Structure 1
Amino acid sequence: MPESLPDLEPDASSGRARKARVVMTVFNTFQHDTRVYKQCKSLIEWGCEVDVVCIHKGDLPREETQDGIRVHRVSPSPFALLRLVLFLFYWPSTALMRRLLNRKPPQVAAMVSGPSRLRRMVQWLLFPIRAPYRGFRWLISKRPRRWPDWMNPEAAPKGLAWLLILMRWFLWWFAYYPAFWLYRRLRAAHRGFRRWRTRNRLTIRHARSFGRRIILKIFHPAIIVNLAGLDLARKAISLRPTLMLSHDLNTLVAGVIVKRMCEVPLVYDSHELYVERNIGHRSRTIDRFFWSRVERRCMKRVDLAFSVAQGICDWLSERYQHPNVRLIRNVQPFEPPTTPSMRWQRDLGIPEGTPVGIYAGAITINRGIEQLIDSAAHLEHTAYVIMGYAFQEAYLEGLKTRARELGVLNQRVFFKDAVPMHEVISVVASARVSVVPTQNVCLSYFFEASNKIFHSLMAGVPVAMSDHAEKRMIVENYEVGVLFDETSPESIAKAVESLVLDDAQHAQAASNCLKAAQELNWEHEEFRYRTAMKSLLGDEIGTIPPVRLGTEAAVS
């Protein structure tokens, strides 16, 4: 028998008021995603139940609880589409079984004015065959579609309900069962392959690498991502959410499926301008062609959208004519100024008294790290520290080779491993200036205001950064640093040195950073986030608490 499917109807028989249940989907392992974690904690403290459906990799547990957040990890499977089809085939079964267990059918007024009795009988007999077709129609339609009242399965005569159940079993054995039999055989073969894989790990690693290259040549990565999203949708449906929240465009298709199946509000959190994001050396034309069409169709079904920058919010609102796109910045919870930690500078061999310009973020392509290293040759008083996690070890070694060839490695440029999130601010606080040289290679980078900027504000460290839209707005409104031309090493070096050597300008910018941190923090964004979610959850959630920074409270 196929696995049991959830009853999508609200549980009114128990008489208990169920907490608002928010289900989030994210296309990662939910280990280092601080934005999703902050939203989860905010909703839990507000009285919601929160489940996160994410991707399973390696030896991570498939089910766990992190600080009250229920985490469900699923493995993308090629059988996801078959599971979805089976779900649509069985979609009306629970209503039929409920009718068989009830003594009296519910009073349906439309049955009196509906079609003739003979016509109703004929259409009811066609019900098991029409269910899959109508299920697909209902899934992709713009408006919710329901069975007419006179075709309500719970209102069917009991004898007819028994006949319909028998017809469904007949169709199961002669139509659905062969497909399910094939699915079970393939799944058993897959289990055998997994056992064989444990004994041949090296061979499998080479085969997977070769197969991945072949698949990516045949199928665009976006197609593979959306097929994996079916597994996320299937798990999310089984959790019976009150509200669905999709993080980034790569899980929005799954969110739309859950919205259609469970008839719940859908929220879309765009962590970046996905159709114009940094994709390295892949074809931007093909990627934009596919994802822009996915986003255009899905945005019609989104009830509320968030993004991390005002420019991205305006872009989404204008492009898709969506009236409800709101700004929720990717900022950190407020922390009072901490004592700088100088030990790590001595460990790196930086001479005492040397001003430090720190880059604290991901070490990857198009973040301007190459230009930052080139600018070190123009420095006279400052040393750079590049701190973060490298996604590709070869790329990190290439950066070190570049610095070595320029003669600045371990003299003007130092590399440091990433530190835990709770130590970032104390490490940044020991620097003289924070440097953000992100390159304008895509519209997403032009609009973004990365969280490394807000870390610097919390630490009271002035920022030298690229002259992009959101960064320019922060500098103009709060006067927390300077801007430079990110493509010019000379411009980067000049901006950094001017901020380091001018004590009056540096002191004023550092003071402004601490003032800006009083406003640009998660406590203020959390208040706006809860206000937006309240419009969808309504009376299922309590009142919105005021903004509180540490021991001081301020009502926003």
Structure 2
Amino acid sequence: MILFIKAFINMKVCMFVYNNFLNDTRVLKEARSLIACGYEVAVIALSSRATKPFEERDGIKVIRIKMPIHYRVFYSALDMLTGIKRGLIGLVSKGKDTIHAGNTDTSFNINEGERGVLSRKSYAMKINLSVANPFKKRMMWLLITIHKLLSFVDFYFRSYSVAVKYSADIYHANDLNTLPVAWLVARCCSAKLVYDSHELYVEKNKLTPSNFIGKFLLSKVEAFLIRRTDAVMTVNESIADELSQRYHIKTPAVIMNAPSRSNGVIKNDVNLLRDALGIKPDYYMLLYLGFLTFNRGIEKMIQSLEYLPNCHLVLMGYGTDWYKKQLRDLILKNGVEPRVSFFGPVPSDEVIKYAAGADLGVAPIENACLSYYYCSPNKVFEYINAGLAVVASDFPELKRVINNHEIGCTFNPDEPRDIARAVEYIFEDPERWRRMKQNTIAASNCYNWENESEKFLSLYKTIS
């Protein structure tokens, strides 16, 4: 092992992410593993209000690219409009009672940078959806599309110059949106290129689905670039098979996005989540982890509470103000506000500690796109490492994990009654529920970053 580590001392890796690298746990785990093995690692990311242009995090050099001028002008205008709107709403609603879902708004904290980004995206999406006139809607779509393209081009131009100066031995693209610039830099520097496909990017979840032309062009870009990489990796077998068949390449390596065992806990008498929210002890606590956004099945999960009178749902994560308002409206409409709470987000290394206080983990992903149908959401592995039984959508990868280890059951995510049926199946037999929770120990020995890290480093060894 010592010889293995020494062999890669001074080898430099440059990773690209199209986010601000505050909450990208997969890339963070990969970078930490590389550093522990003797590599020098830099991550090129996007800047935001709460981030520094350059910082060192756990030995990782983080270089953030400044947003393009048109992007800053565009969202500054949205910020101003949002502020005016909130002010008007405040005047209209002054003196009125404010209804909250549960007793949890005070515990919903987003760091300032994330809050700014999320509120601006929320407003942009709301504008796009609220335009009723077909011509105006088409023009809005065109403007947003051009804006996105200009943002990508600017990121590629700025990150290219930074990456070339860094002069790495290996360039690592995270998702298709960073692969073009990573390929260009790797070619310029005669370096190796790794492509990490976190999802089926061409088939990803979008508020407004891509048209045929958009998918066709993206597919052609991915087909051209993926065949010019030195290594390809992805998050599960279904996506690996799909990429192999679609682009006629060798099956990519599967590196699952599992949490570290060092963050795992065995459930004990300390119940941080229930205590923090004041949930009654006679309620079963259902936990949803992750980003609160459309097509994650949260609406159907809320509706299923009508058939689960002894259950309390906790939504633990962050989301846009606009989307949370939609959820609150649905919660009120269904009359389940005393049994739904928002909580968090919490630091990534404390997620499992809090999750361990729940009774059941839920992953009601909708079949909104092929990427979701083939998904292996990180939340499922976090539930497992927290010792929770799991109910999830009846999709290939979710079914594989749950059925192979007998840790829960699956349901039709389109039917609230079927979601309720799956939850009741877990709780109606205490011995079966206990056995499922016990089985998560063996499952966590399989799904953890320590195992995935070995595969990840072996892949790097083949090209180093």
Q: TM-score, normalised by structure 1?
A: 0.68
- Work out which of the residue numbers 374, 377, 382 in structure 1 matches 2:311: 382
Contact 1:433-1:500 within 8 A present in 2 as well: no
| Within-5 A mapping of 1:418-429 | 418-429=345-356
Query: Quick one: distance in 1 between partners of 2:290 and 2:77?
Result: 33
SS of aligned partner of 1:530: helix
Match of 2:162 in 1: 235
Contact 1:270-1:306 within 8 A present in 2 as well: yes
Match of 2:48 in 1: 57
**Runs of 4+, deviation exceeding 6 Å:** 201-204, 207-210
Deviation at 1:396, TM superposition (A): 0.4
1:482-535 residue CA offsets vs partner (Å, 9 max, x unmatched): 000000000001110110221111111111111110111000000000111000
1:432-490 residue CA offsets vs partner (Å, 9 max, x unmatched): 11111000110111111111101111111000000001001112211111000000000
Matched, 1:330 2:321: no
- Work out which of the residue numbers 456, 478, 497 in structure 1 matches 2:405: 478
Q: 1:372 to 1:533 in 2, by over 3 A?
A: same
| Within-5 A mapping of 1:114-513 | 205=80, 216-217=143-144, 219=146, 221-222=148-149, 224-323=151-250, 325-334=252-261, 335-339=264-268, 341-390=270-319, 392-410=320-338, 412-513=339-440
Contact 1:382-1:497 within 8 A present in 2 as well: no
Query: Quick one: distance in 2 between partners of 1:223 and 1:471?
Result: 37
The one-letter code matched in structure 2 to 1:449 is S
Match of 2:35 in 1: 44
Deviation at 1:218, TM superposition (A): 6.3
The one-letter code matched in structure 1 to 2:227 is K
1:303-322 residue CA offsets vs partner (Å, 9 max, x unmatched): 10111111111111111111
Match of 2:114 in 1: none
Contact 1:270-1:307 within 8 A present in 2 as well: yes
Query: Quick one: distance in 2 between partners of 1:380 and 1:472?
Result: 27
Query: Greater CA radius of gyration, 1 or 2?
Result: 1
Matched, 1:523 2:450: yes
Q: 1:476 to 1:214 in 2, by over 3 A?
A: closer
Q: 1:255 to 1:324 in 2, by over 3 A?
A: farther
Match of 2:104 in 1: none
Deviation at 1:55, TM superposition (A): 1.0
Deviation at 1:285, TM superposition (A): 2.9
SS of aligned partner of 1:32: coil
The one-letter code matched in structure 1 to 2:331 is A
Deviation at 1:422, TM superposition (A): 2.1
Query: Quick one: distance in 1 between partners of 2:13 and 2:235?
Result: 20
Query: Quick one: distance in 2 between partners of 1:319 and 1:202?
Result: 41
The one-letter code matched in structure 2 to 1:47 is G
Count of matched residue pairs: 399
Query: Quick one: distance in 2 between partners of 1:18 and 1:361?
Result: 36
Contact 1:341-1:427 within 8 A present in 2 as well: no
Deviation at 1:33, TM superposition (A): 0.5
Contact 2:274-2:358 within 8 A present in 1 as well: no
The one-letter code matched in structure 2 to 1:512 is N
Contact 2:273-2:357 within 8 A present in 1 as well: no
Contact 2:271-2:356 within 8 A present in 1 as well: no
Query: Quick one: distance in 1 between partners of 2:149 and 2:236?
Result: 24
Contact 1:341-1:426 within 8 A present in 2 as well: no
Deviation at 1:383, TM superposition (A): 1.8
Query: Quick one: distance in 2 between partners of 1:202 and 1:463?
Result: 43
Contact 2:403-2:409 within 8 A present in 1 as well: no
| Structure 2 gap ranges (5+) | 1-7, 83-119, 128-138
SS of aligned partner of 1:518: helix
Query: Quick one: distance in 1 between partners of 2:47 and 2:226?
Result: 27
Deviation at 1:77, TM superposition (A): 4.3
Query: Quick one: distance in 2 between partners of 1:341 and 1:416?
Result: 17
SS of aligned partner of 1:259: helix
Q: 1:227 to 1:461 in 2, by over 3 A?
A: same
| Structure 1 gap ranges (5+) | 1-16, 79-189, 538-556
SS of aligned partner of 2:52: coil
Q: 1:469 to 1:214 in 2, by over 3 A?
A: closer
Deviation at 1:213, TM superposition (A): 5.5
Contact 1:376-1:413 within 8 A present in 2 as well: no
- Work out which of the residue numbers 52, 66, 85 in structure 2 matches 1:75: 66
Contact 1:357-1:383 within 8 A present in 2 as well: yes
Query: Quick one: distance in 1 between partners of 2:9 and 2:399?
Result: 46
SS of aligned partner of 1:380: coil
SS of aligned partner of 1:418: coil
SS of aligned partner of 2:446: coil
Query: Quick one: distance in 1 between partners of 2:248 and 2:371?
Result: 19
Stretch moving more, 393-402 or 461-470: 393-402
Query: Quick one: distance in 2 between partners of 1:231 and 1:493?
Result: 50
The one-letter code matched in structure 1 to 2:205 is N
The one-letter code matched in structure 1 to 2:355 is V
Contact 2:359-2:388 within 8 A present in 1 as well: yes
1:63-98 residue CA offsets vs partner (Å, 9 max, x unmatched): 1111110111112548xxxxxxxxxxxxxxxxxxxx
Match of 1:542 in 2: none
SS of aligned partner of 1:64: strand
SS of aligned partner of 1:414: strand
Deviation at 1:202, TM superposition (A): 6.8
Deviation at 1:338, TM superposition (A): 4.8
